[in-house]
């Protein structure tokens, strides 16, 4: 059986919550940092059965670590959607039809017949939208034996590492993010007719303030950001070129090695990510849900 043309793993039966036999209570979740700067692996949580206490741990950890990783989560699409909905409204992707019966679920799939893989450059998901995503949750059910890692970079750290003069220059500037150039190129590569649809475009601060933490983060990316408003093209291009390279510095990053039934959850407001397509012709397949955010300020 397939969903939206992408093979779905075996039917998933509802699983019982994990209990500690000695105490007859759920184990206390642990949050273990991946690097000093970004990322944490969360253990002791069953994403098929997220309690209110579990959710508080997940939410607080996401605010402090920016991206979270979960292992051995053989969860259903319904559970994945339910987890995302606890953070906010789920939204459909502007260039992907979703899967059958689940327009807000985006298949992430590459195999031996693919001409591209999703997310092969640093970006924040759909930053071209007037209300870019708050976060994304990706579950991979099928992964290659080696390769297919995803890199995540901390945009708080990227901003804070800039000189005071550069921060002063960038504060108050805005940039245009446009989905049209990227999505039309995707459609050309895969032979999909977009029917002349209009794609989202918006003007956002170059440096945004996170609504929950109050911290400043860089908010430009090479996938969607076209130019800085009010600057000549040469100046805009030079500044953006520097920032696009800057956000990929290794000291801002963590690297996630996928295993079957792993889940990654990230805050798009303060991270960028880069999926590495080094595993062709192997298959990498899963599902992503995206949570609507607010207009950046």
Q: In this predicted structure, what is the pLDDT of residue 194?
A: 86
Q: How far apart are CA 216 and CA 235, in angstroms?
A: 23
Cα separation, 218 vs 158, whole angstroms = 7
At residue 14, does pLDDT exceed 80?
no
Written as six digits, the tokens of 58 are 């997940």
Residue 6 pLDDT more than 70? no
Q: What CA–CA distance (Å, rounded) separates 78 from 223?
A: 30
3-state secondary structure of 99: strand
Q: Indicate if the pLDDT at residue 10 is higher than 50.
A: no
What mean pLDDT is predicted for residues 249-260? 98
Residue 245 confidence (pLDDT) above 80: yes
Mind listing the pLDDT tens digit for each residue in 108-166? 999 999 999 999 999 999 999 999 999 999 999 999 999 999 999 999 999 999 999 99
Report how far apart, in Å, the C-alpha atoms of 23 and of each of 20, 54, 122 are.
6, 18, 45
- For the CA atoms of 161, 118, 293, 195, the dihedral, rounded to the nearest 10 degrees, stands at 130
Catalytic residue from among 46, 125, 129, 267: 125
Residue 291, pLDDT score: 98
- Grade residue 26 by pLDDT with cuts at 50, 70 and 90: low
Question: Residue range 212-232: average pLDDT?
Answer: 98
> Looking at 208, 210, 274, 288, which residue is catalytic?
288
* Active site annotation includes 123: yes
Q: Would you state the pLDDT for residue 153?
A: 98
Among 240, 127, 249, smallest CA distance to 173 is for 240
273-296 burial: b if 16+ Cβ within 10 Å, else e = bbbeeebbebbbbbbbbbbbbeeb
Partnered with residue 254 across adjacent β-strands are 152
Burial class (CB in 10 A: 0-12, 13-18, 19+), 17: exposed
Mean pLDDT of the residues in the chain:
92
In contact, 110 and 117? CB cutoff 8 Å: yes
pLDDT digits (tens, 9 = 90+) for 198-215: 999 999 999 999 999 999
Q: What are the boundaries of each domain within the chain?
A: 2-291
Active site residue 288: yes
Give the pLDDT of residue 20. Answer: 42
Residues 6+ apart with CB under 8 A from 59: 87
Is the pTM above the cut of 0.85? yes
- How far apart are the C-alpha atoms of 17 and 85, rounded to whole Å? 20
Mean pLDDT on 180-196? 93
The Cα 279–Cα 56 span in angstroms is 36
Contact by Cβ (8 Å): 50, 58: yes
Distances (CA, A) of 273 to 31, 67, 123: 21, 10, 6
Euclidean distance between CA atoms 145 and 150, whole angstroms = 14
pLDDT digits (tens, 9 = 90+) for 28-86: 899 999 999 999 999 999 999 999 999 999 999 999 999 999 999 999 999 999 999 99
DSSP 123: B
- Annotated catalytic residue 204: no
What is the percent of the chain with per-residue pLDDT over 70, rounded to a whole number?
91
Identify the pLDDT of residue 195: 86
Which CATH topology does 2-291 take? Double-stranded beta-helix (3.60.130)
102 is catalytic: no
Find the range with the poorest average confidence among 99-103, 211-215, 289-293: 99-103
User: According to the model, what pLDDT value does residue 240 have?
Assistant: 98
């Amino acid at each position: 059986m397939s969903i939206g043309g992408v093979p779905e793993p075996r039917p998933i039966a509802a699983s019982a919550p994990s209990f500690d036999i000695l105490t007859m209570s759920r184990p206390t979740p642990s949050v273990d940092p991946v690097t000093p700067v970004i990322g944490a692996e969360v253990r002791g949580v069953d994403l098929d059965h997220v309690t209110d206490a579990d959710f508080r741990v997940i939410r607080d950890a996401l605010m402090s670590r920016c991206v979270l990783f979960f292992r051995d989560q053989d969860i259903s699409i319904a559970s994945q959607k339910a987890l995302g909905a606890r953070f906010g409204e789920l939204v459909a992707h502007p260039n992907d039809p979703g899967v059958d019966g689940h327009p807000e679920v985006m298949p992430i799939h590459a195999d031996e017949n693919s001409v591209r893989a999703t997310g092969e450059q640093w970006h924040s998901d759909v930053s071209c939208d007037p209300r870019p995503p708050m976060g994304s949750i990706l579950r991979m059910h099928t992964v290659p034996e080696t390769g297919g890692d995803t890199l995540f970079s901390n945009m708080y750290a990227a901003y804070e590492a800039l000189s005071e003069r550069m921060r002063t220059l960038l504060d108050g500037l805005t940039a245009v993010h446009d989905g049209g150039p990227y999505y039309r190129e995707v459609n050309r590569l895969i032979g999909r007719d977009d029917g002349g649809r209009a794609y989202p475009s918006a003007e956002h601060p170059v440096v945004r303030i996170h609504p929950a933490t109050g911290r400043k983060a860089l908010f430009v990316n090479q996938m969607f950001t076209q130019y800085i408003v009010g600057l000549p093209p040469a100046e805009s291009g030079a500044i953006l070129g520097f920032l696009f390279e800057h956000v990929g510095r290794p000291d801002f990053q963590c690297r996630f090695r996928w295993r079957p039934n792993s889940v990654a959850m990230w805050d798009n407001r303060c991270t960028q990510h880069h999926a590495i397509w080094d595993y062709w012709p192997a298959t990498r397949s899963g599902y992503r849900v995206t949570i609507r955010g607010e207009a950046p300020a």
